[in-house]
Homo-oligomer: A and B are copies of this chain.
Amino acid sequence: MPPPKLGKNQVFFGTFIHSKGLDELEYLHNAAVCVDTSGKIVAVETNCNQQKAVETLYGRLGWSLDDVSVVRARDGGQFFFPGFVDTHVHASQYPNVGIFGKSTLLDWLNTYTFPMEASLSSLPKARRVYTRCIRQTLAHGTTTAAYYATIDVDATNLLADLCYSMGQRAFIGRVCMDHLGPEYYIDESPDQALAATRATIEHVRSLDSDYELVSPILTPRFAPACSAEAMKGLSELQKQTHLPMQTHISENRDEVKLVKELFPNSKSYADVYDTHGLLTEKMILAHAIHLTEEEADLIAERNTKVAHCPVSNSALSSGVARVRWLLEKGIQVGLGTDMSGGYSPSILEAARQAKLASNHLAMPEGQLDGLPQDERDKAKLSIDEVLYLATRGGAQVVGLADKIGAFEVGMQWDAQLIDLGIVPAEVTEDDFTTHGNVDIFGWEKWDERIAKWVFSGDSRNTKRVWVQGRLVHQQT
């Protein structure tokens, strides 16, 4: 089922909050954002109420009153925020969120991950899992996701179908792994891996020929799971198709050691990807924790992107990625939930844990202990910064910086309406109502409201979600 066309132009009134730059949120109050029937933002006006919009904006846009539907954010507790970008998420692992046992990366893959992924060759099971994963990520305000599916072509195509019909902007990766995988879950050969990948590309093209909403993404799982032939083949395919790519790098110390053993002639993990033609500006590298200075410099030089996945990194005891260090090298960084290495479908949770993980770097006895306090404190990410990573940073990482991530003319209306609970002026002891974890008493400044949302918000605060102007989720 293709997404329905929007019948009407839309205008949104109220407070709009988005990132101006890495360390600065912009607050637009009493503003209006006009969105045309293609889902594109065609006007952003401050100090604009409905009367003024009708008198000045509509004429300029050639709109008549009948053409326009209106959505208003309630003063005080509600605001519009750009949709979140999840730059690294395994849709196929969704049912395993929260299940880790005592494992770290390599045994976790064998115990939990590969059996679950393999089982999704059953299409009814894949439909149930993928539908739920898309619904939950939409409910948490994720308007764009870079997905890993499985090695199975039909199930991967189904994920594309579901994203398309449910209206989530998505990159769909059939996982290439022709090396070291378990017998029951592995591509048979480099040729077969490439043929299967081409089959999913064809399917997505038949669905959405210009990749406006859903796009394929080339997905070598990670160096240990790919033969040199498969990696070179994917690099060739990328040159032909110009498609984006995604993989993992340097998540876990044992993994780094394994790569060293498997590729004894490479200078580093990053060098493995570089020498196989995969380290380009179209590549998203997840994790990037245990990089050397030289690797980070190489990644910066190639303009390769990084998906920071703090929830996963803390849950699997992988380590803490040095985001400030990456950013200062000029590397573009976004956030990933990395389900089910991460336990949460929420990029807001990823933003929160990005803040906390960066605090851990700066702590006494932490990774930077010994450096002066000033130096350590610099590693800490601010609220504004983690929200930038969640939106504009993510948009850069998936190659859509000019299209999504902020409220600017020419961008798409990929947005969420956030509602923070207001504590009544008169509370009573027998009122059992809560409206989630965020309680606004009324005296908080706007930056404090945002801080409360980042630390305590969840999908209860996400009232409605739009992608390309289309309403794709609302609270029931």
Which residues in A have some Cβ–Cβ distance to B below 8 Å? 1, 94-95, 97-100, 102, 127-129, 131-132, 135-136, 139, 162, 165-166, 253, 290, 314-320, 343-346, 356, 359-360, 362-367, 377, 380, 382, 423, 425-429, 431-434, 437-439, 441, 443-444, 448, 451-456, 458-460, 473-476
Chain B residue nearest in CB terms to A290: B364
Interface pair B320/A363, CB less than 8 Å apart: yes
Interface pair B459/A360, CB less than 8 Å apart: no
In the complex, A458→B315 CA distance in Å?
Answer: 18
A139 to chain B, nearest CB (A): 5
Interface pair B359/A444, CB less than 8 Å apart: no
In the complex, A343→B432 CA distance in Å?
Answer: 21
Interface pair B344/A456, CB less than 8 Å apart: yes
Interface pair A135/B365, CB less than 8 Å apart: no
16 contacts between A and B (CB under 8 A): A97-B452, A98-B448, A98-B454, A100-B451, A102-B380, A128-B426, A128-B427, A128-B441, A135-B434, A136-B434, A290-B364, A319-B365, A343-B456, A345-B437, A360-B360, A437-B459
Find A429's partner among B131, B428, B431, B433 (CB 8 Å cutoff): B131
Interface pair B315/A359, CB less than 8 Å apart: yes
A339 to chain B, nearest CB (A): 10
Chain B residue nearest in CB terms to A253: B364
Interface pair B356/A437, CB less than 8 Å apart: no
Find A439's partner among B95, B100, B439, B456 (CB 8 Å cutoff): B95
Answer whether A359 and B314 are a contact pair too, CB < 8 Å, given A99-B452, A364-B290, A382-B102. yes
A426 to chain B, nearest CB (A): 8
Interface pair A456/B97, CB less than 8 Å apart: yes
In the complex, A475→B362 CA distance in Å?
Answer: 40
> In the complex, which residues of chain B have a beta carbon less than 8 angstroms from the beta carbon of A162?
429
Interface pair B455/A97, CB less than 8 Å apart: yes
Q: Can you list the 10 inter-chain pairs with the closest CB atoms, starting with the nearest?
A: A98-B455, A343-B455, A98-B452, A317-B359, A131-B427, A314-B356, A365-B367, A95-B441, A432-B476, A139-B434
> Given A127-B427, A366-B367, 9 other A-B contacts at CB below 8 A?
A95-B444, A98-B451, A253-B364, A314-B356, A314-B359, A315-B356, A317-B363, A319-B363, A319-B364
Interface pair B166/A427, CB less than 8 Å apart: no
In the complex, A429→B131 CA distance in Å?
Answer: 6
A353 to chain B, nearest CB (A): 8
> In the complex, which residues of chain B have a beta carbon less than 8 angstroms from the beta carbon of A454?
98
In the complex, A366→B319 CA distance in Å?
Answer: 8
Answer whether A165 and B429 are a contact pair too, CB < 8 Å, given A95-B439, A128-B441, A455-B315. yes
Interface pair B437/A344, CB less than 8 Å apart: yes
In the complex, A319→B102 CA distance in Å?
Answer: 23
Find A360's partner among B314, B364, B425, B441 (CB 8 Å cutoff): B314
Interface pair B131/A99, CB less than 8 Å apart: no
> In the complex, which residues of chain B have a beta carbon less than 8 angstroms from the beta carbon of A475?
432
In the complex, A235→B460 CA distance in Å?
Answer: 46
In the complex, A100→B102 CA distance in Å?
Answer: 33
A384 to chain B, nearest CB (A): 11
> In the complex, which residues of chain B have a beta carbon less than 8 angstroms from the beta carbon of A458?
437, 458
In the complex, A253→B376 CA distance in Å?
Answer: 14
> In the complex, which residues of chain B have a beta carbon less than 8 angstroms from the beta carbon of A433?
476
Interface pair B99/A451, CB less than 8 Å apart: yes
> In the complex, which residues of chain B have a beta carbon less than 8 angstroms from the beta carbon of A320?
360, 363, 365
In the complex, A318→B380 CA distance in Å?
Answer: 13
A126 to chain B, nearest CB (A): 11
Answer whether A136 and B317 are a contact pair too, CB < 8 Å, given A290-B364, A432-B473. no
